[in-house]
Amino acid sequence: MAMDYEGFKKQVYSLTKIDLDAYKERQMKRRIDALIAKRSVKGYDNYAQLLKTDKNVFDEFVNYLTINVSEFYRNPEQWAVLEKEIIPQLTTKFGKRLKIWSAACSTGDEPYSLAMLLSKFMPLSNIKITATDIDKQVLDKARMGLYNDKSLKGLPKEFLKEHFTKVNDKTYQISDKIKKCVDFSQHNLLKDTYPTNCDMIICRNVLIYFTEEAKEDIYRKFNASLKKEGILFVGSTEQIIQPQNLGYVPQKSFFYRKV
């Protein structure tokens, strides 16, 4: 009997440990069906077999599913709040060796942005950001540190001048001293153990793709990962409904403090 979408989801989990049940089904199924059509295979059975036998198809699948739209200083007004209010507050409470987790970090734009911003408050040797993502491909890209000019358009010019080398007209290489501030590793928000005692967690523009149940579970786990008075920084379309029920109070728009 031909495999249905439910059976395909189980195959995907066994191969990748990505739980498609936690994603909005209509949106995710449409993305997968487009990939299958692109490969000119018939049905979920044949595509699942291709995922097992063809590394290029497998890598394409994981990269396509894990949404990788990222840029430096995305929503600059929120980074201004981070600089003027949140970081000074955190350094006053926790000192100048902050423990920060950039969850679902994609190609590294966000943790690198944060490392550059923190360098205005403390020596680079004090900065150590844990950055995680489910997708090995984007983590490799992050470690490489090569970016096109479009992803850098929102970055303050002082940071571009100080921390990047121009490779060609459209490509820039981030400096090794900023790279050393960030530790990249693979992590699945739905199944892996979370870091503990974080002063701040950044997870932006990712949870919009999850079901409400999965979102709530992740927000609770983030809360458990934070120190008391620690900060969660979310994306511009991800305001938490009734944050007090999950152990947070709003600090500013898109910033939530653990109580």
Please tell me the distance from the alpha carbon of residue 79 to that of residue 235, in angstroms, as a whole number: 11
> 198 by DSSP, 3-state: which?
strand
Radius of gyration of the chain (CA): 19
pLDDT on residue 2 = 60
The CATH code of the domain at 76-258 is: 3.40.50.150
Q: How many beta carbons lie within 10 A of that of residue 210, not counting itself? A: 17
pLDDT on residue 69 = 56
pLDDT on residue 18 = 76
pLDDT on residue 129 = 97
In the chain, which stretches have pLDDT less than 50?
none
The number of residues making up the chain comes to 259
pLDDT on residue 67 = 54
Helix axis angle for 25-38 and 43-53, nearest 10°, is 70
Where in the chain are all domains bearing CATH 3.40.50.150? 76-258
pLDDT on residue 209 = 82
Provide the β-strand partners of residue 250. 256
Please tell me the distance from the alpha carbon of residue 177 to that of residue 174, in angstroms, as a whole number: 9
Report yes or no: 128 and 89 within 8 Å, Cβ to Cβ.
no
pTM, entire model: 0.80
Please tell me the distance from the alpha carbon of residue 197 to that of residue 71, in angstroms, as a whole number: 27
Residues 6+ apart with CB under 8 A from 71: 109, 150, 151, 152, 153, 154
Report yes or no: 257 and 231 within 8 Å, Cβ to Cβ.
yes
Q: How many beta carbons lie within 10 A of that of residue 112, not counting itself? A: 28
